[in-house]
Amino acid sequence: MSTIAAISTPQALGGLAVIRISGQDAISIADKIFVGFTRVRPSDMAGHTCAYGKIVCGSQTLDDVVLTVFRAPKSYTGEDTVEISCHGGVYLAREILKLILDNGAAAASAGEFTKRAFINGKLSLTQAEAVMDIISAEGEASLKSARLAKEGQLYKRINDVCNSLVNVLGSLAAWCDYPDEDIPETDSESVASVLGTALSSLDKILTDYDKGRILRQGIDTAIIGKPNVGKSTLMNAILGYQRSIVTSTEGTTRDVIEESARVGDVVLKLSDTAGVRSSEDEVEQIGVDLARKKLTDAELVIAVFDGSRECDDNDREILKSLSDKRHIIIVNKSDLPQKLNLEYNNDDNILFVSAKSGFGLEKLTEKINKLFKLGGYSDGGEIYTNERQRSLVKKAREFISKALNSVGDGQTLDAVTIYIDEAANSLLELTGERATEAVVNDVFSRFCVGK
Ligand code: GDP
C-alpha cells in the first residue's frame, strides 16, 4: 500500500498544526526532511518517541517542529506513522505537506487513515464510524455515546446477537447434515428462545436510535405566533445574541431565519418564521408560505403568545394547528400586566417567560427533555446508531421475526435456517466483517481528509 500524508488539523489559524504520514515509507521520508537538534534520525527512533528538530527543504528551514514516530503495528493505522507538529498556520502546514508529497508520499483521501486502521484490523467498521461521530459530536451525550461505540460497545452487542444466531445455525446444520450421528436434535423451543432474545436486543438498539439522532442532528424547530408577540426577541434570547431584526412594526420578519442554538444537551435548529397569517403584501406572503412549510416539517413547534394581550381568533387558530405536533407554548411578556386567557390545559407544555429579560427561559431545557424523553439519559448504556447501522439492524430484525414466525407455524427447521442466515448476514455487514468494498468506501467517504 502506498504511503499517504495529510494535514490532520483543521485548515485554519491555530496554535499548532499536525501533519500525518502513514505507510511503509513514512519514516524514510521523514529522514529526508527532518534534522533533529540532537542529530537523531527518525529511522533510529523507537516507536512512541518524539524528537525536536527542524523541517528542511535543501538549505532552507521551514519550521521548528516536534516529530513523533509510531512503528507498525502500534499506530492508529497499524502502519509505520510519523506525526509532525508544526506551528499553526495554513500556509506553513501546506508547505510541509507539499515537501512530504514531493518526497514520495501520496495525498491521503478523506478518511484514508481510519480506513487503513479498519483494513489492518485496528478498528471494526462501527468503531471507525464512531471516530467520525466523536469528531462531529456537539454535546456531552452524543460524545459519550460515540466513545462507547469507539470502545466497541455497539460491535460487542451486535456481535453477541450474531454469535447466538451462528450457534443456532451451527447446531441446525449439524443435525440436518449428519442425521445418522448421535447429535441431539435442536428443538424448536430452544431456537425460538434464542431468536426471542436476539429480537429484544435489536429492538433496544432501534429504540435508542431516535434519541441518538436527536442528540446528533438536533431538532428542527419552528417558532410560530402572531406578529409582535416576541418571536424574534425569543429567538435572540435563545441564541444569546442579536440575529433577526427586532422591531415593533408588524410583519417585518419577512424571511424565515434559521439558526442553531444549544439548549441543554440538544441543538435546536430554529426557524423564526414570519407571522402565520394571510397577507396582502406579496413579499411578506412568500415569508408566510415558507412559514407554513416550516411548520409542517418541524419536529418541534414553539408557539409564542403575547401574555399582555387578550386571546383572539388568530391565537386560537394557532393553538388548533398544534394538536398533532410536539409543541411548547410560550406565553411571553410576563413582565407586563397579563390579559391572555388561553384555552389550553396541559401545564407540562406551557412556559411563562419574558423574552426581553430572559426570565423563565431556563425551564426550556426541562420541557424539551421531557417532550423528547431525553431526560432519562444517564445509564450510559445507550448506543446511538447511524442510518446505515439502523437499516441493517432493522433488516436483521425482520428476518429474525420471519424465522420466529416460521418456528411458530411449525415449518421445518431447514426453512428457518434461511431466515436466520439472512439475519446473521445483515449483522456481519454492519460490523464490517462481511461488508462489500462499496459499503466500506461509502462509510469512509464521509470522513474529512487527514482523519
Ligand atoms: P415578533 O414580530 O413576534 O418577532 O416580535 P418581536 O420580537 O419583534 O417583538 C415585538 C415587540 O415586543 C418588540 O418591541 C419587543 O421589544 C417587544 N417584546 C418582546 N418580548 C418582550 C417581553 O418579554 N416583554 C416586553 N415587555 N416586551 C417584549
Q: What is the mean pLDDT of residues 255-279?
A: 66
Looking at residue 131, what is its pLDDT?
82
Architecture of the 4-123 domain = 2-Layer Sandwich (3.30)
- 368 CA from centroid of ligand 1 (Å): 23
Distance from residue 229's CA to the centre of ligand 1 (Å): 6
Instruction: Delimit the CATH 3.40.50.300 region(s) of the chain.
Output: 217-371
**Residue 204 phi/psi, 5° resolution?**
-60, -40
Q: Is the model's pLDDT at 151 over the cut of 60?
A: yes
Q: Chain-wide mean pLDDT for the chain?
A: 83
Instruction: Give the pLDDT score at 243.
Output: 47
pLDDT of residue 254: 47
Grid cell digits, residue 222: 419552528
Residue 261 CA to residue 202 CA, distance in Å, equals 33
pLDDT-derived band at 257 (thresholds 50, 70, 90) equals low
pLDDT tens for each residue of 49-61: 999 999 999 899 9
Pinpoint the residues of the chain covered by CATH 1.20.120.430: 129-213+384-444
- Pocket lining: 327 vs ligand 1, CB cutoff 6 Å: no
**Start and end residues for every CATH 3.30.1360.120 domain found in the chain:** 4-123
Cβ contact 186:168 at 8 Å: yes
* 48: CB partners within 8 A, 6+ apart: 68, 69, 70, 71, 74
Ligand 1 contact, 230 CB (< 6 A): yes
Surface-to-core class of residue 197, CB atoms within 10 Å of its CB (0-12 exposed, 13-18 middle, 19+ buried): middle
450 lines ligand 1 (CB under 6 A): no
Measured CA to CA in angstroms, residue 339 lies from 333, 343, 346, 359 at distances of: 11, 13, 19, 18
Three cell numbers written together for 90: 495554513
Given the C-alpha cell 527518525, which residue does it identify?
42
C-alpha cell at 177: 447434515
User: How far, in Å, from the CA of 350 to the mean position of ligand 1?
Assistant: 18
* Helical (H) or strand (E) element with 225: none
Q: 129-213+384-444 maps to which CATH number?
A: 1.20.120.430
Domain 217-371 part of CATH 3.40.50.300: yes
Q: Helices (DSSP H) in 322-386: which residue ranges?
A: 364-371
Of ligand 1's listed atoms, the one at least distance from the Cα of 357 is: 23
Query: How confident is the model over 271-309, as pLDDT tens digits?
Result: 766 444 444 555 455 545 656 677 778 889 999 999 999
246 CB less than 6 Å from ligand 1? yes
